[in-house]
Structure 1
Amino acid sequence: MFPYKGANVDIKADLLPALSANDILYIASYSLFAEGSRIETLKALSVARSAGATTAIDAASSALIRKYGIPEFLSWIKGCDILFLNRDEAEAITESSDLHSAATQLSQYANYVVIKDGAQGSFALHEGRVHHQQALPANVIDTTGAGDAYAGGFLAHWSLTPDLEGCLRTGAEVASRAISQVGARPPRS
């Protein structure tokens, strides 16, 4: 997979609609890896926090995190509500192959640390408590976009109710649908 920064680099904090406590601002960290978009992304996160909105960041790329520096990345994400990572990203940032240890280290930067681990499922750490979700059965055809689909399902559930077990389950359901076809977008049903 070749990551592409795409629309992430065009973020403008002043173009955000008025945010409220009922809103979620979801950021792929690609927007943190270019100076211009980093400034705007950090402003957007500040605006969202001030409004009481939920802030969620996806680590997006272990290679870019290494390139720009782990301490810098951690300073940019500090204070986010939800941090999404996959195994590679968690290991790159914490230098630990023990994902529970990695999540504990990362919990000083985010209120909820959600680690996606493919066929091993996913888990979230919140207030010292681990919540695990098994991967759901799927006819795996293409895993492109599985993590993004997972985050989308998780946050869709969160927008209805911040029930962590339900969020993990919905994330797993959406990801299992996404990997059951070619391409990153499940058909509407």
Structure 2
Amino acid sequence: MLKKVVKNFLIFLAGFTVIASFAWAQESSPSTEVEELIVQIQALRAEISQLKEMVDQAREIAVDSRLEAEKFKEETLYRLGLWRTRLGEGMMMSLSAKKASERAEEAAKSASEQIELVLKRMKGVEERFGILSKKVEEEISARIKLEEKSTELERKLALLSQDVESLKTDVALAKEMAATA
């Protein structure tokens, strides 16, 4: 912008010089020319001072614009840095979650395999338990039968013991009778 102002100023000065030289060449009176030149020089000085002010303002605006652009650039880079940081953190979290998911899947697969093995073992144990419970039931029924036979044999033994006692008594009586006879 400063270049544009300086360029316009130079074009203005060149144009003004050309116009002034034409005007001077056309005028015949030297005193009026001097007065006009003095007026023109004062006008040019006023314009130069205005242009200097405009150049100073343009410089200030350029400096302010540069400062604002630098601030904007700095803020943009800061935000970009934050965004990249967040993006990086998100990617790291994503990778961690993916690894955790893979480990969880492996653990679930391992657990399901272990559960299948346990179920197979439980099925075998249930079959053995069924066989053993049948054997226990058979043993219990055999024991009940043995207890019944044992009770019956004890009763028969008690009857036989009574018969033997009665025979002993009869034999003892018969011996007494045979001895008295």
Q: Do they fold alike, i.e. is TM over 0.5?
A: no
* Bigger relative contact order (CA 8 A; separation at least 6): 2
Q: Tell which structure's C-alpha radius of gyration is larger.
A: 2
Larger fraction in strand = 1
TM range (shorter): under 0.3
Question: What TM-score does the superposition give when structure 2 sets the normalisation length?
Answer: 0.16
